[in-house]
Amino acid sequence: MSDLSSLTSSAYQQALEVIASVEPRIAEATRQELVDQRASLKLIASENYASPAVLMTMGTWFSDKYAEGTVGHRFYAGCQNVDTVEALAAEHARELFGAPYAYVQPHSGIDANLVAFWSILAHRVEGPWLEKFGAKNVNDLSEADWESLRAELGNQRLLGMALDAGGHLTHGFRPNISGKMFHQQQYGTDPETGLLDYDAVRAKAKEFKPLVIVAGYSAYPRRVNFAKMREIADEVGATLMVDMAHFAGLVAGKVFTGDEDPVPHAHLTTTTTHKSLRGPRGGMVLATEEYAPSVDRGCPMVLGGPLSHVMAAKAVALAEARQPGFRTYAQSIADNAKSLAEGFLKRGAKLVTGGTDNHIVLLDVSSFGLTGRQAESALLDSGVVTNRNSVPADPNGAWYTSGIRLGTPALTTRGFGHDEFDKVAELIVDVLTNTEPGTTSAGAPSRATYVIADGVADKTKSAAAELLDKHPLYPGLDLA
């Protein structure tokens, strides 16, 4: 065991002892979570493994600070160290992504998108409205003018990617607040290929004339030409916002460059800091100088006080992503996704778009006679962690779905390569081939219950354990 591994083990052992002295059940749940993660093939596209340095950074006295405001302009005294933390995180983000401005306070990807949406509204709607009436802020408006402004802010148009095509709830769908803020329409993918049709997006934008066009995805297994998306936005006078939460690591690692790098083309780019970026759970907004003043008002506009300990962890993760080895990691994510896709295809499985060129593989499980919910559950029983996901024009809707989404960032962090991902595809196909739909209590076909052939789940867990044992999670970390 290296000195660093020994030090890490000692630190975590002592930390758990301290926790156990107050609430032993939390200490045990924490210990068990590591056991479970070590024993599972984690293929959740939105999950990863943060480094011990990132994890430890979150467990400090920065947790105790209130720090509403921005660097050098706080509403609380005694925030000089928080200023250092936030400034460093923003500096690393700007340098890593080549962005003019970075805002690192958002607590999540949803928060980052809300900051971006309201920043666009403030810049494009509120600002001109205030100028029209010669007001410095909304407090200077008459009650009638304020009511008119409120109606104007809540009556703007947003064009986002359809949910079943791979878009995200935060891109204007009604279950999310973004769908209540905006009058929203969707662009989809070609019904034959499942690929984005930029001419169709352009036609939709010209017809709808949105204030905001959202690009980016959570379940689209291909790259996007953001230069074309910016051209479309400029043609209709829209602000282009890109949500790169899923593929930020591929941007940071220079797998996506040129027209496929959203940062030079978008007015605002939002992201999470975990997923493929391998940091703590949190969000960020990158922006042009034009939008920076509006974004900087994220707190108190829509955010509560920043989580200083998480901003510190973001700084550490972003510093890690600026190291040369991160580019190798990012390229391996994409290479491994291709290996996983090829493993499925050669075994006769059906993939949305027929493959992948990012980190996502979207498997259509209807060819196995299953719903996504049945497939997800059967795989979980077998030690393979995935999540069900809609496919284009999904007949089973967003709850049961017809697909499962798989991602390669987490297992790539563990060191999996081509051969291991080919084996993972084999295991998944074997489980799904040997799973049948169940029935309801009344004997009718069920979209939720399932039956796995005897011995298949145990056999899969055993094979998965062999793969995982070769690539231990947090090697040298012993919590026994």
Mind listing the pLDDT tens digit for each residue in 239-253? 999 999 999 999 999
CA distance 48 to 54: 12
Domain boundary among 299, 321, 343: 321
Verify that 317 and 333 share a domain, yes or no: no
- 58-90, pLDDT tens digit by residue? 999 999 999 999 999 999 999 999 999 999 999
Q: What is the pLDDT of residue 223?
A: 97
Same-domain status, 169 and 289: yes
Tell me, what's the pLDDT at 462?
96
Would residue 134 count as lying in a domain? yes
Paired with 437 in beta bridges are 450
Question: Do residues 281 and 366 share a domain?
Answer: no
Do 276 and 338 lie in a common domain?
A: no
Residue after which a domain boundary falls, among 321, 346, 365: 321
What is the value of pTM for the model shown?
Answer: 0.94
CB of 246 within 8 A of CB of 276? yes
CB-CB contact of 325 with 405 (8 Å) = no
Same domain membership, residue 359 and residue 307 = no
Report the distance separating Cα 396 and Cα 390, nearest Å: 8
Tens-digit pLDDT profile for residues 221-239: 999 999 999 999 999 999 9
Catalytically annotated residues: 66, 68, 243, 272, 275, 281
Mean pLDDT score across all residues of the chain: 94
Q: Which domain holds residue 308?
A: 67-321
Q: Is residue 337 part of a domain?
A: yes
Does any domain span residue 476? Answer: no
Q: What is the pLDDT of residues 137-187, one digit of tens each?
A: 888 888 888 888 888 888 899 999 998 888 887 877 777 777 788 889 999
Q: Are 382 and 450 in contact (CB under 8 A)?
A: no
4 domain-assigned? no
Residue 200 domain-assigned (yes or no): yes
Any domain includes 132? yes
Residue 42 domain flag = no
CA–CA dist 461, 207 (Å, integer): 52
Q: What per-residue confidence (pLDDT) applies to 154?
A: 84
Give the contacts of 131 (CB within 8 A, at least 6 positions apart).
none
- Spatial contact of 202 and 235, defined as CB atoms under 8 Å apart: yes
* Helical spans, DSSP H, in 215-291: 226-236, 248-252
Strands 182-187 and 435-439 come out as unpaired
Shared-domain flag, residues 165 and 204? yes
Predicted pLDDT of residue 2? 60
Residue 478 covered by a domain: no
Instruction: Classify residue 189 by its DSSP letter.
Output: B
Residues 6+ apart with CB under 8 A from 453: 434, 435
CATH number (domain holding residue 257) = 3.40.640.10
Residue type, 204: K
Cis, bond preceding 445 (omega within 30 deg of 0): no
Q: Give me the percent of the chain exceeding a pLDDT of 90.
A: 82
Does residue 317 share a domain with residue 225?
yes
Average pLDDT over residues 399-414: 97
Q: Report d(CA 101, CA 114) in Å as an integer.
A: 17
Domain count of the chain? 2
Q: What is the DSSP string of 127-153?
A: HHHHHHTT-SSGGGS-HHHHHHHHHHH
